[in-house]
């Protein structure tokens, strides 16, 4: 895919990816664009179709996957998630750096493509703090929360694998994590321009 090198933002649910991403896009809306993923899950209160996710049926999503329309896809808690090629192309067509918010499965899938993004992992300071953040959301059943915590432990281990990520940011303070994210992106995009 042509255009500036995309950015993959990954990390456990509750680590603060969405908050950091919204802050980044609000401040730099002429530089970065968010790739809107598809999902078969129901919208949470306040979420909008086409803005937070493209909410689709399992049949529609599976047909897109079968047609090769998705760069990556994964299933979690009985719901499908994925990034379509069109979603990334929509951002790149505006000459923006595309940011993809995906999970560990998605990272592994993308490593097998020619997308060549900058991989950034957002991590919680600890599993205990992550659990508190997830409980404070009050959007999960206990069973769903335990699944997310288990997945988080696996993702936190994955982030330690050599070469899995270019940058790892521990989000113990939103402002500090945001500063690190901006610095990592400025450095990566600057180096890319210098190398051209």
* Active-site residue, 133 included: no
CA distances from 98 to 56, 65, 111, 128 (A): 22, 21, 16, 32
Contact 102, 149 (CB under 8 A): no
Q: What share of the chain is helix, strand, coil (3-state, %, to 5)?
A: 45, 20, 35
Contact 33, 88 (CB under 8 A): no
Q: Which is catalytic among the residues 44, 58, 133, 135? A: 44
* Active-site residue, 137 included: yes
DSSP, collapsed to helix, strand or coil, labels residue 11 as coil
* Active-site residue, 44 included: yes
Distance CA 100, CA 83 (A): 8
Closest CA to 154 of 172, 174, 130: 130
Q: Which residue has the tokens 């069973």?
A: 143
Q: Which is catalytic among the residues 41, 108, 135, 137? A: 137
Q: Which residues are catalytic?
A: 44, 137, 148
């Amino acid at each position: 895919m042509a255009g500036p090198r995309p950015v993959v933002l990954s990390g456990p649910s509750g680590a603060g990816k969405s908050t950091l991403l919204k802050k980044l896009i609000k401040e730099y809306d002429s530089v970065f664009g968010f790739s809107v993923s598809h999902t078969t899950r129901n919208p949470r209160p306040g979420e909008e179709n086409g803005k937070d996710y493209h909410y689709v049926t399992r049949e529609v999503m599976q047909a897109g996957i079968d047609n090769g329309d998705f760069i990556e896809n994964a299933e979690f808690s009985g719901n499908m998630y994925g990034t379509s090629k069109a979603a990334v192309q929509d951002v790149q067509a505006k000459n923006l750096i595309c940011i993809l918010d995906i999970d560990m499965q998605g990272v592994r899938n993308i490593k097998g493509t020619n997308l060549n993004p900058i991989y950034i992992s957002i991590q919680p300071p600890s599993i205990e703090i992550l659990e508190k953040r997830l409980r404070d959301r009050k959007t999960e059943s206990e069973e769903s929360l335990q699944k997310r915590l288990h997945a988080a432990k696996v993702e936190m281990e994955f982030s330690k694998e050599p070469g899995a990520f270019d940058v790892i940011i521990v989000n113990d303070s939103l402002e500090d994590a945001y500063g690190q994210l901006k610095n990592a992106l400025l450095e990566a995009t600057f180096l890319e321009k210098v190398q051209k």
